[in-house]
Amino acid sequence: MMFVAVALSQTENPLSEKPVRRVIVHADDAGMSHSVNRGTIDAMEQGSVSSASIMVPCPWFPEFAKYAKEHPDRDYGIHLTLNSEWDLYRWGPVAGRERVPSLVDEHGFLWDNVAQVAANVKVEEAEIELRAQIERAREFGVPLSHLDTHMGSAFARPDLAKLYVRLSLEYQLPVLVVRPTPVNQLEQAFPEVLRIIEPLEAAGMPVLDEVYQFYEHGPFEQRKAKYLDTLRNLPPGTSEIIIHCGYQDAELTAITGSVDIRDTDRQTFMDPDVRACLEQEGIELITWKQFGAKPKP
């Protein structure tokens, strides 16, 4: 499927009285493993996944980077990574442990969880590492459309969130930030969110209206029904549905207890019922390239 970058308004289509609903179906964690790469690529090529973000520190990054370089028409972001969360499958920083010692545990791996990031990471070292991830992706020829954050670690502290915004503005790449609503209660959970949004909007960067992610275990039909219900009830504006794709094979089973979630996410968004739902509901499936495109003068 080929996507053409066009400028988008927030919620209205001047040719229609009906509010426009747009969705980015976004696969996180590309580059994490071969199984994840296979699942992500298949869901992009054969399904309804319109965008993916890449974990540069992971061992299978080169495989996905090669695919991205060879398929520049598709949509790729950097999944800015400050965590290495699996027990027996770990990775360290791209910049090197000596340059960013506050980012690693006693074994030299990135911290397990976001709380450890908040407690230990020096923001100046986080900047070194996140820049290194962006630059490494560029060196591999990955065409970039956006930035987002693995496990939300960029929001672990206000200074890290400001760094996240600063990188967006410097590299002129939109970042995953969502507008606070009564439904998501983001302003209560993260009071400084409006301060993050203001400089982005002042620079003409887009801000999502809603984000959805379902990381609960369950059978395929149950999880598929939840996604379809979410699509039918999308609000006006631009939303993102975050998924994680993979195959339930020996490799991914050895890595993570979420292998069933990743397999059913892939199955769901390769299912023709999702495409049919998008068409029936009149929902535009878009990319970050489209979402971030600025109107031509």
57: DSSP letter: T
The answer, yes or no, to whether residue 13 has pLDDT greater than 60, is: no
Classify residue 70 by burial, with Cβ atoms within 10 Å: 0-12, 13-18, 19+: exposed
Q: How far apart are the C-alpha atoms of 252 and 262, rounded to whole Å?
A: 9
Number of DSSP helices (H) and strands (E) in the chain, helices first: 12, 7
In a 13 Å sphere around the CA of 166, the CA atoms on its Cβ side amount to: 13
Q: How far apart are the C-alpha atoms of 17 and 169, rounded to whole Å?
A: 34
The answer, yes or no, to whether residue 1 has pLDDT greater than 70, is: no
Q: What is the pLDDT of residue 230?
A: 98
Q: Provide the 3-class DSSP secondary structure of residue 65.
A: helix
Which is nearest to 133 in space by CA: 39, 72, 85, 61? 61
Classify residue 169 by burial, with Cβ atoms within 10 Å: 0-12, 13-18, 19+: middle
Domains belonging to the chain, first-starting first, are: 21-81+142-292 (3.20.20.370)
Please state, rounded to an integer, the average pLDDT across all residues of the chain: 93
Q: Are strands 146-149 and 210-213 parallel, antiparallel or unpaired?
A: unpaired
Q: Provide the 3-class DSSP secondary structure of residue 74.
A: coil
Residue whose pair of structure tokens reads 């495989």 in the numeric block: 63
Tens-digit pLDDT profile for residues 22-70: 999 999 999 999 999 999 999 999 999 999 999 999 999 999 999 999 9
Least confident of 105-114, 117-126, 183-192: 183-192
Q: What is the pLDDT of residue 4?
A: 30
Which is nearest to 42 in space by CA: 64, 72, 60? 64
Q: Could you give phi then psi for residue 65, rounded to 5 degrees? A: -60, -40
